[in-house]
Structure 1
């Protein structure tokens, strides 16, 4: 027959024993979720991570990897009627080109300026269409009606460098960078969570994390101190 003290001890042990599987299930659930989001974010961001890592090197050493800009120039003459419209425009400030002038430019150069602002002065009107890795620019002589068209091209490396910084890349690319940055934050946060979960069995976890966080922080502090 079971003694009263043994029955009391067995009853008190049951809640503790029952809580162990529940805690294990919770830990297992969150571990699965962290693993899932870690590899999903890694898969989605892998290509862009490689792109941004590679262009970080080419951007940091642009004088080595980026070729000299290739510039081409053309000169055209506006028809007299269009030159007159240009001559009668505003004397200064920013304003769109007259619609017939913009249509003629688009037909001649495939340079769509409809709705874009040009810079007006007494002697000339200028407009530019920057793009990753280059620029297209127009300059109108308001007296003679001469049009100078220039294009510059810094090659594929220059275009990729501009995409890295978001320079002249458009609103859609800016949105894409925002989404990619969120994916990278998810990847980094879930990686940190996995490191914490497995840290007990991996003694180097915390020294490596401290080195990874401390090295750039110390460098930033030294640079700021040097600048000040």
Structure 2
């Protein structure tokens, strides 16, 4: 869940918004490592290292396979470019922050 507090200094009015989350909130917190403790942090870090190792060994295997090398490189470029384009086009950017 989350809690949000907003204070209007001119009127002195305080607005509180508190919402408890369900299963999706729990999954989101686990994904982000929020409120999960040191053990879960190690699980996240270990998973990230293993994914990097799998990606590197996959690229090594791809470069050893001459027939599928070009197609694999194009798919890799597409897989990198797609989330980058989505981010640049549809994720709002904060203006004026240096």
TM-score by length of 1: 0.29
Q: Of the candidates 61, 80, 88, which is equivalent to residue 213 of structure 1? A: 80
**Compared CA separation, residues 157 and 221, structure 1 to 2 (3 A):** closer
Task: Name stretches of at least 5 consecutive residues in structure 2 with no aligned partner.
Answer: 3-18
CA-atom RMSD, angstroms? 2.7
Partner of 1:180: 47
- Aligned pair count reads 77
- Give yes or no for the alignment of 1:201 onto 2:74: no
**Compared CA separation, residues 219 and 159, structure 1 to 2 (3 A):** closer
Q: Take 1:221 and 1:159, find their aligned partners in 2: how far apart are those partners? A: 28
Report the Cα offset of residue 153 of structure 1. 5.3
Report the Cα offset of residue 223 of structure 1. 5.0
Runs of 4+ in 1 over 6 A off after TM superposition: none
Structure number with the bigger relative contact order (C-alpha 8 A, sep ≥ 6) is 1
Secondary structure of 2:35's counterpart equals coil
Task: Name stretches of at least 5 consecutive residues in structure 1 with no aligned partner.
Answer: 1-132, 135-151
Report the Cα offset of residue 218 of structure 1. 2.8
Partner of 2:11: none
Q: Which has the larger radius of gyration?
A: 1
Partner of 1:142: none
Deviations 1:88-132 (A, max 9, x none): xxxxxxxxxxxxxxxxxxxxxxxxxxxxxxxxxxxxxxxxxxxxx
